[in-house]
Amino acid sequence: MQTLTIEGMTCNACATHVRKALEGVPGVRSAQVAYPQGTAEVQADAGVSFATLAAAVAGAGYAATDAVANAVRAGLQPAEPSDSAARGDGRGLRIAILGSGGAAMAAAIKAAGAGAQVTLIERGTIGGTCVNVGCVPSKIMIRAAHVAHLRRQSPFDAGISVTPPAVRRDKLLAQQQSRVDELRHTKYESILLSQHNITSVRGSARFTDAHTLAVTLQDGTVQTVGFDQCLIATGAHPAIPPIEGLKDTPYWTSTEALAAAAIPPRLAVIGSSVVAVELAQAYARLGSQVTILARSTLLFREDPAIGEALTAAFRDEDINVLTHTQASRVEHADGVFTLHTSQGDIQAERLLVATGRAPSTRDLNLQVAGVKTDARGAIVVNDHLRSNVAHIYAAGDCTDQPQFVYVAAAGGTRAAINMLGGDAALDLSAMPAVMFTEPQVATVGLSEAAAHLRDIETDNRTLALDNVPRALANFDTRGFIKLVTEVGCGRLIGVQAVAAEAGELIQAAALAIHNRMTVQELAGQLFPYLTMVEGLKLAAQTFSRDVSQLSCCAG
């Protein structure tokens, strides 16, 4: 029998995860894991090494040490040198992390908890994009705009009197910033202060070789940081298109748009991606006259029906959507922007440029470390978050992976596990995505076109929302739910939804795809009546019946 000390468990459920990981090792006959004691007793064949067991524990997200060796270190004899990766823990391991956003923090917490000495380097504001200038402030602003819109207009205006809102932008901005400051302190700054194994360094880092960083501190001095393993999590920044005259104007990126002290009378938006459409609708609902210039169509990388549905919804709200339109030149004079386009000149007091985000890797001197990037400057990583250099990892928006904070955090955690000697992969096959417009857009898995590019023959159904009782009860049937299945087996491989609260239904679809459910199995599940997620069941039923001929809550 081997006895292991397990680090990182916080409850009995953790003990169950560790037990399953250990019992999955070939040659292990049984494992008894006790959360209160932090131990695991393993009955295994003679050929099963401690290193193999430790790697299995690390792969589950925890750390294992040899309980007998721990007792020796406690006083019986000096510890012999050993490799931390083989042990499955971080003792003696030096890890450098560049950045302090979702990926960086997840990795730092995981690695420090396993005993590694972590140096976290941040050149700007602690917390990265999401909490400071991305997800959190944008969703607060979008929610405020939603409330303003409902006071001005709703499906129930015949019975509830309309009250045009007075938008006090200074009060909204103060409320927004207060919550941002609170979350940054609670979820980032205070955690760093409480972690003894994490040293924070404020400055700009660049590689001088494959195991060394030079950090220019805020006072101008340079600090050298050596490392055994490194995670690059430097995020991304707004990408600015090369439009004549643009760089000489006071245009906004999303950062300035979220922090603006006033709502402009007119707002022009260059771009058609998630940030562009979310902020365009928010500003329109807060009082701006908004014009969107889309080089192609709205959300052109998605299923075409998504862009069509969102364009129709925006035009219903008097948002001017100009598709297949580009600005050839931008001017700014007397407080007014003039955009010269093939559709004529467009004027606005403010201009938002939201044409995507570029990886923040240019100043890292990656070439001296041998780290490869793609044409955009994104670090190329495998599913273990490892770059082409074995001891250098990357996660989050600076990589070639999808730019979502939950992908970044999941990547950071898995990178830390792997730096500690584990074997954790990031599976993006059922990655949900949500756009917080109204109606919301939510997707997971493959679109019809993406499946065909992989030579997968598909069978698809699109359910109009006038077939969904919740949508009828809300008097809002804008949008659809589309299911994509693989021909022959009926397995669900993709879902696209445009609907009110689509983001709240997409996780059920993600779980169905992850568990390789068929549409027949999905159609047979119990869904609560008068919820939007019931639309998934109804859409699945359309593969075998006419749902318009069912009673309200027919199974």
Where does the pLDDT of residue 68 fall: very low under 50, low under 70, confident under 90, or very high at 90 and above? low
* pLDDT of 487 higher than 70: yes
Q: Are strands 458-464 and 440-445 parallel, antiparallel or unpaired?
A: unpaired
Query: Which amino acid, residue 231?
Result: L
The percent of residues above 70 in pLDDT, for the chain, comes to 95
The C-alpha angle with vertex 185 and arms to 181 and 186, in degrees rounded to 5, equals: 115
**Nearest in space to 432 (alpha carbons), one of 495, 344, 359:** 495
| 49 backbone dihedrals φ, ψ, rounded to 5° | -85, 160
- The domains located in the chain, with CATH, are 2-87 (3.30.70.100), 94-128+179-238+358-419 (3.50.50.60), 246-353 (3.50.50.60), 433-549 (3.30.390.30)
For residues 202 and 187, give the distance between their C-alpha atoms in angstroms, rounded to a whole number. Answer: 18
* pLDDT of 87 higher than 80: no
Is 190 buried (19+), middle (13-18) or exposed (0-12) by CB count in 10 A? exposed
**What pLDDT is attached to residue 67?**
64
For residues 190 and 182, give the distance between their C-alpha atoms in angstroms, rounded to a whole number. Answer: 11
**Nearest in space to 463 (alpha carbons), one of 550, 376, 339:** 550
**What pLDDT is attached to residue 79?**
30
Least confident range from 120-129, 401-410, 541-550: namely 541-550
- Is the Cα torsion angle 445, 450, 456, 458 positive or negative in sign? positive
**What pLDDT is attached to residue 268?**
98
Is 150 buried (19+), middle (13-18) or exposed (0-12) by CB count in 10 A? middle
* pLDDT of 17 higher than 90: no
Beta strands across the sheet bearing 28-34: 28-34, 39-44, 2-7, 63-66
For residues 79 and 94, give the distance between their C-alpha atoms in angstroms, rounded to a whole number. Answer: 19
**What pLDDT is attached to residue 49?**
84
**What pLDDT is attached to residue 56?**
85
What average pLDDT does this structure show over 202-229? Answer: 97
**Nearest in space to 357 (alpha carbons), one of 126, 123, 134, 107:** 134
**What pLDDT is attached to residue 85?**
45
The overall longest dimension of the chain from CA atoms, in Å, is: 84
**What pLDDT is attached to residue 549?**
87
Helix (H) or strand (E) holding 178, with range, is helix 169-184
Least confident range from 44-48, 107-111, 455-459: namely 44-48
Least confident range from 5-14, 221-230, 394-403, 420-429: namely 5-14
Structure tokens that stand for 67 in this block: 């309980």
Q: Who's near 322: CB < 8 A, 6+ residues apart?
A: 291, 292, 293, 294, 341, 343, 346
Active site residues: 9, 11, 14, 62, 130, 135, 552-553
| 315 backbone dihedrals φ, ψ, rounded to 5° | -65, -30
Least confident range from 40-44, 102-106, 120-124: namely 40-44
**What pLDDT is attached to residue 58?**
79
**What pLDDT is attached to residue 356?**
96
Q: Are strands 212-217 and 198-209 parallel, antiparallel or unpaired?
A: antiparallel
Q: What is the pLDDT of residues 391-421, one digit of tens each?
A: 999 999 999 999 999 999 999 999 999 999 9
What average pLDDT does this structure show over 302-314? Answer: 98
Q: How many helices (H) and strands (E) does the chain have?
A: 19, 25
Q: pTM of the prediction?
A: 0.84
For residues 419 and 92, give the distance between their C-alpha atoms in angstroms, rounded to a whole number. Answer: 12
